[in-house]
Amino acid sequence: MIEDDSSASAALCASESGSSSELHQDDDWNGEGDTLHEECGVFGIVGADDAAALTALGLHALQHRGQEAAGIATYDGEHFHLERRFGLVGDNFSNSDVLERLPGNVSIGHNRYSTAGGAGLRNVQPLFAELEGGGIAVAHNGQFTNAMTLRRSLIKRGAIFQSTSDSEVVLQLIAKSRESDIIDRFIDAIRQMEGGYALVALTRKKLIGARDPLGIRPLVLGDLNGSPVFASETCALDMIGAKFVREVKNGEVIVCTKEDGIRSFHPFAERPARLDIFEYIYFSRPDSFIAGRSVYEVRKSLGAELAKECPLDVDVVVPVPDSGVPAALGYAQEIGIPFELGIVRNHYVGRTFIEPTQQIRALGVRLKHSANRSQVEGKRIVLVDDSLVRGTTSSKIVQMMRDAGAKEVHMLLASPPITHSDFYGIDTPDRKKLLAAQMNLESMRKYIGADSLGFVSIDGVYRACGFDRRNPDAPQFTDHCFTGDYPTDLVDFEGEENHRAPGLLKD
């Protein structure tokens, strides 16, 4: 095993024989929120027949980015149409009656994961407003880190808000802008915003796509038989048979019309792109390409890096499904140990369908994961997962493997320890509830009950993405959850970097 090292770039591994000082442990933690929740997904298309149906298909491909609600807006040449529903895309937008209420050859759509307290229909996107120059619908993925500050200022100036979503701040800023052209008003609005976002907007004549100045949130441009398409990921282009054209550049605003084609604007000073590294580790679908890299191949490479940094003498490699599968495969291939599905996931479980008594809560992890006893009994196994958040689910899975007869249970993570909260659209717990922010490596190992615990190093993540190492002076990605290096001003969270501050909803 590799020795524990305090440097940010070192691999972290601890075994049962190791020794470290015990850090604070919150005994009141439960399994709720013991994961990095999805962000959101956006999609847009102009100049296509059945634009709403194509948008529904695109959102279906992006369903992994948000499952709580979905919405589609269209324009038919005379009127805007808007349908917003709770639940999955397939449950709401496969009905021909719904799609018939969304006529037009231009459309935008949004999948949503809502944060606590924000699951109201008024917050489901796209949001629409009727302005002096005509209507506009807006949807975005990410979070504006100065939205609360701007919201308070707008309210003082007489603005009336109908939602608690930070997306509405964009609409209000467009409405208040003194520019005459809608594109200039749009650019005037986003110039006032801080944070990470991918944004699509729909006017009477235009489809607009925009990406934050650092490119923290992903957005791609595609083409479907001459119709421009925007999507959070390339998998949505594949779904409708569209051709990938290019990534929307960081800080770029692209305006599309069927008649005039594509126009590109660059309203921000040029800066190096810093995509959120979690798009590779967890969020994006494995068959997507992000910044020219296959997400699947990066995840396999993360497993290979784990094998180099934390080699183990075990009998079988077991992925924690589904996000741990590519990394586990990479680990097994690199180290030459059999890969087996020692855990079977039930894909048909959402919220608990039985009244959540304490007894049912205790069984919660078994509703989603079951041990495949034939592959773990009597064996030394290593579990491979993408990340460790609170640790409660990991501890239950470790115990499940022991109950299934595993002789040894080791755990490896295809990301470094998560020590800081996110402020750019990922729903992370308060820092005080992040296991790695409160415990050292040996304490974490004891908490989850594994025989050993290891994390890939931060440099290992960068190597998996094709770099020699992380550049400390100019990081190639946004990796603040591991390093605390926040790439933008956290205006609404001044002095609160150590805590997950309440605010407007992230989308």
Q: Which residues are catalytic?
A: 40
Q: Which residues pair with 134 in a beta bridge?
A: 131
Q: Which residues pair with 209 in a beta bridge?
A: 200, 254
d(CA 20, CA 14): 10
Q: Starting at the edge strand that comes first in sequence, how are the strands of the sheet with 69-75 ordered? A: 80-86, 69-75, 106-112, 41-46, 227-231, 220-224, 243-247
Residue identified by tokens 């000082």 is: 21
- Strands 408-413 and 380-385 come out as parallel
Cα-Cα-Cα-Cα dihedral sign, residues 138, 197, 42, 188:
positive
How far from the centroid of its chain's Cα atoms is residue 331's Cα?
A: 24
Residue identified by tokens 């959120």 is: 276
On whether the CB atoms of residues 409 and 450 are closer than 8 A, the answer is: yes
d(CA 254, CA 437): 40
Cα-Cα-Cα-Cα dihedral sign, residues 47, 49, 53, 58:
negative
Identify each DSSP E strand in 373-426 by its residue range.
Answer: 380-385, 408-413
Cα-Cα-Cα-Cα dihedral sign, residues 363, 364, 367, 373:
negative
Amino acid letter, 289: F
Q: Quick one: angle between helices 147-156 and 167-176, nearest 10?
A: 40
H/E stretch holding 483 reads helix 480-483
Amino acid letter, 34: D
On whether the CB atoms of residues 310 and 454 are closer than 8 A, the answer is: yes
On whether the CB atoms of residues 171 and 130 are closer than 8 A, the answer is: no
Q: Quick one: angle between helices 392-403 and 441-448, nearest 10?
A: 50
On whether the CB atoms of residues 165 and 171 are closer than 8 A, the answer is: no
Identify each DSSP E strand in 87-193 by its residue range.
Answer: 106-112, 127-131, 134-144
Longest Cα pair distance anywhere in the chain, in angstroms?
A: 72
- Identify which of 227, 219, 164, 171 has the alpha carbon closest to the alpha carbon of residue 197: 219
